[in-house]
Amino acid sequence: MTDVDGVSRSGVAQRVRPVAKPVEQYALRLGDDALLLSFRLTERVTGVPGLEEEAALAGIAHQLRVHARFLLAAAGQSTAQDEDLLAYRRADREYRNALIVELPNGDFAHTMVRMLFFSAYQRALYRALDHSADANLAAFAVKALHEVEYHFEYSAEWTIRLGDGSEESHDRVAAAVAELWPYTAELFAADDLICSLVSDGVAADPITLQGEWSEQVGAVLARATLGVAPTGAWRPSGGRAGRHTRALDDLLGRMRSFHRAHPGAAW
C-alpha cells in the first residue's frame, strides 16, 4: 500500500530502517505528532474566518514543522537517516503519532479544540522535558515551549470566544469537544518504552502530565460555557504502536505527492 523506498538528494535509493535507540523512538513519536498536526493545520489555512487567522494558523503550522524537523533528525541520528526520509518514506504502520493529530479536519471550531487539547498536552510535556537527562531533548523543550505557549493561548482564546458566542458557535465547539475528547486518553498512556525512559530520567511520565492538562483545559472549557468534560468508556488508541485510522493513509498520500513531485526540496 505504501512505498517505503526513498531517494536521497544525491539520487541514491534508500530504504527506511527502524529507529533503534529508545530515546530516538521517543523523539520519533514526538516528531510524528508535530509533523502531522502541522499538515492538518496547513490544510485549514484557507478555510478560516479572516486573513489574520490565516496568518496565525500558517505560522503555527510552520513552527510545528520546525519542531518536527528537529525531532525527526534526532530520531534518525544513529541510523544516519535524515528528517525527510523519516517524514515521507515510512510505511503507514511505522508512524508513531497519537491518533488525535491524524484525524480529518472539521470546521474551525474543531481545529481550535484540537489545537487546545494538543497544545495543552505539549505545554505540560515540554515543561517536564526541560529537566530531561537527555541534553538534546531538554534543549529542544526549552525552545519549543515558548511557541507552544502561544499555540495554547491562541486556541484557548478562540475556544472561549466561540463557546461563549452565538448558539451556533457554542454548539459547534461543544460537538468538537465531544468528538475529540476520547482521543486525549492516548496522550497520557504509558507503554514499556515510556516506562523505561521515565526510569532513566529521559522521558516525561505522561500520567503526571494529566493533572496539569485537565486543570488548564477545564478552565478554558468553563470560560467557554461548555460545562464538564464528556464521559464514556470509549478511548481509542493504537497510534503509538502503528495502528492508525484510515485518515492517516489519505493524509500521507497528499504529503508524499508534493515530496515526490519535487525531489530534493528542502523544508
If we measure between CA atoms, which residue out of 117, 119, 30, 120 comes closest to residue 73? 30
- What cell was used for 134? 537527555
Placement of cell 508535530 in the chain: 34
- CA-CA distances (angstroms) from residue 196 to 22, 23, 83, 160? 8, 10, 25, 39
Residues in the chain: 267
- What cell was used for 3? 512505498
3-state secondary structure of 169: helix
CATH number for 5-230+244-261 (one of 1.10.260.40, 1.10.3130.10, 1.20.1260.10, 3.40.50.920): it is 1.20.1260.10
Per-residue pLDDT of the chain (267 residues; tens, 9 = 90+): 334 444 433 333 357 888 879 999 999 999 999 999 999 999 988 777 788 888 999 999 999 999 999 999 999 998 889 999 999 999 999 999 999 999 999 999 999 999 999 999 999 999 999 999 999 999 999 999 999 999 999 999 999 999 999 999 999 999 999 999 999 999 999 999 999 999 999 999 999 999 999 999 999 999 999 987 777 788 999 999 999 999 999 999 988 886 666 666 555
- Alpha-carbon distance of 191 to 22, in angstroms, equals 12
What residues pair up with 189 in beta bridges, in sequence order?
A: none
- What cell was used for 248? 492517516
